[in-house]
Structure 1
Amino acid sequence: MTEEFVDVLVVGAGLSGIGAGYHLQTLCPDRSYAIVEARNDLGGTWDLFRYPGVRSDSDMHTLGYSFRPWTDPKAIAAGPTILHYLRETARDNGIDRKIRFGHKVVRADWSAQDAQWTVQMLRESDGSTVSMRCGFLFMCSGYYDYASGYQPEYPGLDRFGGRMVHPQKWPEDLDYAGKKIVVIGSGATAVTLVPALAETAGHVTMLQRSPTWMAARPSVDPINTTLRRGLPLKMALKLTRWKNVLLSMYFFRLCRRSPQRVSQLLLAGVRQALGPKADIATHFTPRYNPWEQRLCLVPDGDFFQALNTGSASVVTDQIESFTETGLKLKSGATLDADIIVSATGLNLSMLGKAAVYVDGQRVEPARTVNYKGLMYTGVPNLANTFGYTNASWTLKADLTAQYVCRLLNHMRKTGARQCLVPELGPDTPLQPWVDFSSGYFQRAADQLPKQGTTKPWKLNQNYLSDLVAMRFGKVADGVLRFS
């Protein structure tokens, strides 16, 4: 049988994949494309996570698409609302008809002789292996493993008589009303779960090894509300988007230039929210500077409200072991629990865990170097979407898809069938791909590509710089090799 061929195969039907589909059919209408998705529905993260209170940790004016502005007044949105937005976007643009659900990519082989990829997929419906050929492979599968989240080795876990859950696999039948719950972790997931669970639980305790930087922010943008009153909706939304882009960039730069000043501002905000009796030094003063790890957003101060009402509390300590009734801590204290939630983070996964081969040679991502944040040395005709760590994911995803379309149009115009980022010399100075100290990046450091110290090898965390380079810079920049 002759395998099906498409010009571009998009892997993943989440935020990135749906955006890629829109840009491909808008900017490259002469190219055929298909989207393959391992799960049985679109939405990616927003379909996977079902834990109570799940919401965005970026404002939706920037997490939403540039081509479909977010119109809901609530800018920090609940997961189901975001999923509805994605489904509408895919349906209204005919992108949903391009998606093959239940197709998990397991291997991709590049042939220089044929100038195309052969992509093998496991079809969930019958367990069979199917394959497709494509001229360009566009990976939009995100950056973490959907199969399972990170779970530390807990001493004595088998002794615990209650229920243990991970937010990435939240059980539908979990009844937590009136129960004592311990949430292990201090990141965005824990800060989201605690106030949501506290609404009906008996008591919720957030157990953290060390604090995280937090900032309260209204879920409804007051400036956007004002702009809507006096301007046409489209203009108001565009101005709000740019306002949020520029403010987030300014705040990130301020964190890097004046970390002590920002630390004082953030701690003052927490102190104002919790009052003078709160132990800010122990529970809310991190060991690292702001934005060395992702900042935790507290919409409408709901986490602080749960602490103030007494329905939730924070304990800063380490686990010595699980017990029959809860946890024993290294300080000697104990925590009783009916339910323990391990909100301990993600497992990173490069290229959707697919095995990638170039002319029979296995590609090891850690031995490649980033090019413009989307391609890798030695790997032809492949782009990978990886959003910003200091801003909304979609800002970079949109730029990446637009650049891929420019690249494809350049190749069509010049008759090139292959584009390749050449290998760098052995003396080229390299750095880790991401300069974040977050645990999920540190655990996966040996799996991630490297970056250089200068453009185009440096991974920018700056939207304006990327906007200029990727939307207006030359595609044939003297680095990319076309043949």
Structure 2
Amino acid sequence: MTEHVDVIVVGAGLSGIGAGYHLQTRSPKSSYLILEGREAIGGTWDLFRYPGIRSDSDMHTLGYNFRPWTQAKAIADGPSIREYIADTARTYGIDRHIRFGHRVISAAWSTPEACWTVQCETGAGEARRFTCNFLYMCSGYYNYATGHAPDFPGSDDFRGRIVHPQFWPEDLDYAGKKVVVIGSGATAVTLVPEMARTASHVTMLQRSPTYVVSRPAEDRFANFLRRKLPEKAAYGITRWKNVLLQMFFFRMTRKRPEKAKERLIAMVREQLGPDYDIATHFTPRYNPWDQRLCLVPDADLFDAIKAGSASVETGTIDTFTDGGIRLNNGKTIDADVIVSATGLQMQLLSGVPFTVDGKLVELSRTLNYKGMMYSDVPNLASCFGYTNASWTLKADLTSMYVCRLLEAMRRRGMRQCTPRIGAEVIEEEPFLSFTSGYVERALESLPKQGKRKPWKLHQNYALDVMALRFGSLDDSMEFSNPEHVRAKVAA
């Protein structure tokens, strides 16, 4: 049997649960289902279970715009975020719309029927089919089934255990052991201080440094406001305060990158002291925000280094040995456990093949529209957050825009909305102007963006608020396939 709803949301993580709320409140006539390939709510925050997992931005902006974050810690741990998402789903009845264990394997659009046919596979291996008028992909940006794992020479010779943070084994006991964490990104700077609490020593082995910034885990201003004001008012003020501060600092780093670089490195020096080799271990070769800054709450990484329970090595790997790792400079690092925090494997739209009237959609040949849709692909949107701010800021705006489209089609009696380039020649740019490894490895498979709106990604929340909440729905958007055509076909 084929089940039909107006909207199918793919993914029951942070974005998908938010999408359910916005559909219920902003497009209440639209029936919807959330298809989740796994057996639990939470997405990233349910998948990742490595020690110390936490947000890398504050929860007043990573939280939903409709659901205040009320805990004292603004930099929250993974289990708290997972419970926040699950509790949101329960509170608003969104959980009743979720089909767990339904992995989407293909989606096909039919213009005459003005609908998507979505093929799924259940955890039991059964095939299921759904149809919908609008398909909204909220499945994140990376491959859940596999992480990025370089083929390190000599890895078979290592006598200890090698683990990837994306698939953290529950039985791993590292207490009293020597640990090497390979990497210098958000995962590595989270793992190192947490594992250093019980390991005999943890070494963060990086090929090159990353910008690392300390920030208090608690937002005292937010906690003060929550004592003085109604919950939603306090949350809204804190949210905009953090958004505006982030936008200001991002703009300043882009305007004066050398000055920003000096300040960021000076802040690390203040933490580790004048005798620490900041130039080798904490001075990146790129400008701030060419890659995402790494946040460490309450200076926990720096405290672990100062305490001697953790250290940083900068160099390239020659080979794994039976007892650790040998670097190209000849230095060896002893290890009982090696954690390969080497990054994600980027995968847009869950790797699902899409066809439009029988023709396969090649995403790399499309232009991204307003950061959420794709040229010449009808009734399909995807959620992709900011690279320079909290993911959910853009996720909320994207869901609200999708609801605007649904309501516009309903008012106009149209069944289809399609971003069209038309006869214009639009100069193309990469999908993301980011030099992180996971982005550069995937660029050839990603869509492009244009050099002007609505094909240009702003990476600016204030501009997106104006464009997505209040801007025109008709800029390069074709509304077509009127309702009366369906009536004639039915007759």
TM-score range, shorter chain: over 0.9
Structure 1 residue 298 corresponds to structure 2 residue 302: no
Aligned runs of 1:55-454 on 2, under 5 Å? 55-124=54-123, 126-423=124-421, 425=423, 427-454=425-452
Structure 1 distance, partners of 2:371, 2:241, is 24
Q: Percent identity?
A: 62
CA distance in 2, matches of 1:190, 1:345: 9
| Distance (Å, rounded) in 2 between the aligned partners of 1:476 and 1:425 | 16
Spell out, residue by residue over 1:344-363, the C-alpha distance to the aligned partner (whole angstroms, 9 max, x if none).
00000111111111111111
SS at match of 2:7: strand
1:114 Cα deviation (Å)?
0.6
Tell me the number of residue pairs that the alignment of Structure 1 and Structure 2 aligns. 481
Deviation, structure 1 residue 199: 0.2
**Alignment CA distance shift 1:333-1:39 (3 Å):** same
The answer (yes or no) to whether the contact 2:454–2:475 under 8 Å persists in 1 is: no
Note the alpha carbon deviations across 1:400-421, whole angstroms, 9 max, x for none.
0000000000000111011111
What amino acid is aligned across from residue 252 of structure 1 in structure 2? F
Query: Amino acid of the residue matched to residue 433 of structure 2?
Result: D
**Alignment CA distance shift 1:437-1:469 (3 Å):** same
Which 4+ runs in 1 deviate beyond 2 A? 225-234, 423-428, 476-483
* Residues 422 and 481, structure 1, Cα contact 8 Å, conserved in 2: no
TM-score when normalising by structure 1: 0.98
Report the equivalent of 2:489: none
Alpha carbons 1:350, 1:448 under 8 Å: kept: yes
Question: How many angstroms apart in 2 are the aligned matches of 1:58 and 1:480?
Answer: 37
CA contact (8 A) 1:400 1:470 kept: yes
Residue deviations 1:362-400, cap 9 Å, x none? 111110001111100011000000000000000000000
Q: CA deviation at 1:424?
A: 5.0
Deviation per CA, 1:225-249: give whole Å up to 9, x if none.
3323433333222111100000111
Q: 1:204 touches 1:311 (CA, 8 Å); kept in 2?
A: yes
Q: Is the 8 A contact 1:365 1:447 kept in 2?
A: yes
Contact 1:350 1:365 (8 Å CA) reproduced = no
Instruction: Give the drift of 1:256.
Output: 0.6
Deviates more, 1:472-481 or 1:410-419: 472-481
Letter in 1 for 2:83: H
Mind listing any 5+ residue stretches in structure 1 that lack a counterpart?
A: none
Q: What SS class does the counterpart of residue 348 from structure 1 fall into?
A: coil
Instruction: Give 2:45's aligned residue.
Output: 46
Residue 426 of structure 1, CA deviation: 7.9
Gaps of 5+ in 2: 482-491
In the alignment, what sits opposite 2:7? 8
Query: Within 5 Å, which residues of 2 pair with 1:442-481?
Result: 442-481=440-479
Give, in whole Å, the separation in 2 of the partners of 1:194 and 1:212.
14
- Offset at residue 261 of structure 1 (A): 1.0
Superposed CA deviations along residues 298-344 of structure 1, whole A, max 9, x for unmatched, are: 10000000000000000001001111111110000011100000000
The amino acid that maps onto 2:51 is P
Q: Match for 2:305: what amino acid?
A: L
Paired residues of 2:57 and 2:389 also in contact (CA < 8 A): yes
**TM-score normalised over the length of structure 2:** 0.97
- C-alpha separation in 2, matches of 1:101 and 1:242: 35
Give the deviation of 1:474 after TM superposition.
1.7
User: How far is 1:128 from its partner?
Assistant: 1.3
**Cα deviation 1:71-100 (Å, max 9, x = unaligned):** 111000000000010111000000001000
